[in-house]
Amino acid sequence: MYKIHRRNHDFQIAYFLAGSCHTPDGAYAMLQGLKEERVAALNEYDVSLLRIKRKKIKAKNLMLGTEIDKLKAQEIELSLEQNIKTSKVLFEAAKDELKFIEKCIKIVNPLRKYKHLPDSEAYEQGQKEEWKYELIRRAENSILTTGMIPTDHYATMRLHPSFKTEIMPRIDEVVELVKKGNDNDIYKILEPQFNITKLLNL
């Protein structure tokens, strides 16, 4: 899908990135990663301005040289003008993207189970639950589309500590609903545990 000037548009962030997470802690970790990348891009803009300034000085010095040097200087200046325009557009787009990411973080942060921990520890603590729901979702998708769970995915699910207590009972429940063929019940049970798009009123 197209990404004009941005790494990700608001829709992509809300529905396919943070929206793919199953818990507020998982969404927070995802959003923090996106935030760090956008902050780095904004910081790089300041570096690029210094780089442009240095090249302008170089072009100015070339103007004092031979005819070939002068042409080279003109080439550099024209290229820099285009770079400045492009960089400015990308800079503003990155600021807009960061603004939306920070809005999402502000919404999910109060809902986090591990917000009392430093981020690095919180990311680790959230893995078990996030993976549990991810494995369940993949199994649900397989059941609804092919009627069976692939062997490799079943093997992965068995490695999770919540396989017997939560994952398998959930799968059995979905299988039974599919057998009954009641779409309304199926849609109801497939509602995600956490839905950031609802919190954003999208």
Contact (Cβ atoms closer than 8 angstroms) between residue 99 and residue 10 = no
The pLDDT score that the predictor gives to residue 93 is 94
pLDDT in tens, the chain (202 residues): 777 788 899 999 999 999 999 999 999 999 999 999 999 999 998 888 898 889 888 888 888 888 887 888 889 889 888 888 888 899 999 999 999 999 999 999 999 999 999 999 999 999 999 999 999 999 999 999 999 999 999 999 999 999 999 999 999 999 998 888 777 777 777 888 788 988 888 6
* Predicted local confidence at residue 193, as pLDDT: 79
End-to-end, the C-alpha distance of the chain in Å comes to 19
CA 68 vs. chain centroid, Å, equals 48
Pairwise CA distance, residues 149 & 143, whole Å = 6
- Written as six digits, the tokens of 14 are 């809300």
Q: How far apart are CA 19 and CA 11, in angstroms?
A: 10
For the chain, give every domain's residue range.
10-115, 126-192
Of residues 7, 82, 9, 94, the one with CA closest to residue 45: 94
- What does pTM read for this prediction? 0.86
